[in-house]
Amino acid sequence: MSKTDSFAGTTVSRSPVYGTRGMVVSGHSLASLAGLRTLERGGSMVDAMIACSAALSVVVPQATSLGGDAFILYHRASDGRTIGMNASGHAPAAATLDVYKAGIPHRGPLAFSVPGMIRGWERMHARYGKLPWADLFADAAALAEAHPLSRVLAGALDLFREDVEGDAGCRDVYYPDGEPLPAGAIVRQPALARTVGLIAEQGSSVFYEGEIAQSIAAAARAQGGVVTADDFAGYEPEWVEPLESGYRGLTIRVMPPNSYGVLMLMQLNALDGVDPAELSGDESRRLAYLMRAQRAAFAAGQKHIADPRTNPAPIDRLLGDETTAALRAEVSGAAQTAPAMAHPAAGTSCITIADGEGNGISVVQSVFHVFGSAFLDPGTGILMNNRMTGFSTDPESANVLVPNKRPAHTLNPVVVLDGDRVRYLLTTPGGPSQTLSHVQILNNLVDRGMELTAAIEAPRWSITLQGETLLDEAFDDGIADRLAEEGFPVKRAAGAAYFGSAKVIEVAKDGVLMGAADRRREAFAVGA
């Protein structure tokens, strides 16, 4: 796919794309087109999301797959509601701390939880779909039969070769002659194509109660896993009410825990008390405010991110006046000690869709780390997540591993409203840095008045595994020096692994849709 291609009134581009009927922004041009074609065939926004999501699961398996999870926010203009779908899965029934007493492995059959995305699709389709379920998977099935390998996937096959080539299922697909497939090579996944066809024909039951679950469980247990077909059976995603808070007169809506979304709202609550001029002027001062907000919010809130069915977070307190006042005091004061963080690099893909009627959807879907568990079931062609690593093994942690529990998730789709209408839809990969990337983008759009593409491609900062501050190499060295004086010694880095890859739609007051995709990764805006 070239930088910009047009046909039948459709535009695919890395640059800003404008439209009035429909728009998709995602991590791959082929998947974006699958979503837009579904809209053009009379499909609903949810239909388009499913078609795009399924296609992404085929062409960017290092980031998302049928063996992964998703968090979805769907805003309906007809009633002003934003509906949340938590399609994250749970730990197997036999996944006890005793099984993982040596720690939770990042790779292999002990690393994955029951995936939730496919049943999440089906439950949303039952309420909001227009086209028949079976009609939503033609693009994904065709891509599974044959598609060109992306440059990002090619790079990942080399970078993570030891882990990925070590799995027989992955090796057969991506190292057919003993060497990783190069960018542009044709990828053929006949087992996955058959699986997509089964899901199209039989719905999610074939995945959770049928032969797909049986195949995955048998393959995992043959290699020492503990998951069984019974762990899949009866899985249900959860309809949830989004959390919301305000920022400069806008309403920000995010997913509740087990998502990290509340940490984004806490950062914005802290920053909303700062004079906008301070967040649009001197660069080092602006960044210091943002960094203090992130550290304060994570220090106060991260320990509460867990499955609310077993460990409900004190949301009213975290978003309440007392906590907000304390956060604002910290943002205006000295730098805090950096808390230890999970590494921001992750395997995640995103979708945002808006239409000319005021509806919008933001989706973040993921296998967690790049290539997830690096465990691909040869019988189904499905690469599994490694979400078990999202748990803690500390018995005192709210997020401690317990059988049938959901782990904490960094996935953070965002809907921003101006009054009762969608203003922005935001998504990005990047592990826990998703929340701070979104805060930076909103700061650029709202406080600094930047144009959409400039706002998402501007240099950003992030965090490391040890809680160290990373500064984009595009920032001037003088800024790094001044941040050190503010109490924020920084290291330099570049690329999507640390700074995410935003996919954002802005809805103008006249209803024109503007979409942009971050240059940091293979991401495309599609508009019509």
Read off the pLDDT of residues 160-173 as tens digits, 9 standing for 90 and up. Answer: 999 999 999 999 99
Residue ranges of the chain that CATH labels 3.60.20.40:
241-345+412-527
- The whole-chain average pLDDT of the chain stands at 90
With cut-offs at 50, 70 and 90, classify the pLDDT of residue 493: confident
pLDDT at 89 over 60: yes
pLDDT at 4 over 60: no
pLDDT in tens, 285-317: 999 999 999 999 999 999 999 999 999 999 999
Q: Which residues are catalytic?
A: 348
- Put residue 492 in one of left, alpha, beta given phi > 0 → left and psi -120 to 50 → alpha: beta
Q: Specify the DSSP class assigned to residue 384.
A: B
SS (H, E, C) 202-239: HCCHHHHCCHHHHHHHHHHHHCCCCCCHHHHCCCCCEE
Q: Are strands 414-418 and 382-383 parallel, antiparallel or unpaired?
A: unpaired
The pTM for the full model equals 0.93
Q: Whole-angstrom Cα distance, residue 63 to residue 368?
A: 7
Beta bridge partners of 417: 251, 422
Q: Could you confirm whether domain 241-345+412-527 is CATH 3.60.20.40?
A: yes
Q: Crossing angle of helices 45-59/190-202, nearest 10°?
A: 160
The type of residue at 410 is T
Q: Crossing angle of helices 261-271/433-442, nearest 10°?
A: 40
Q: Whole-angstrom Cα distance, residue 120 to residue 70?
A: 8
Q: Whole-angstrom Cα distance, residue 185 to residue 153?
A: 11
281's CB contacts (< 8 A; 6+ apart) are: none
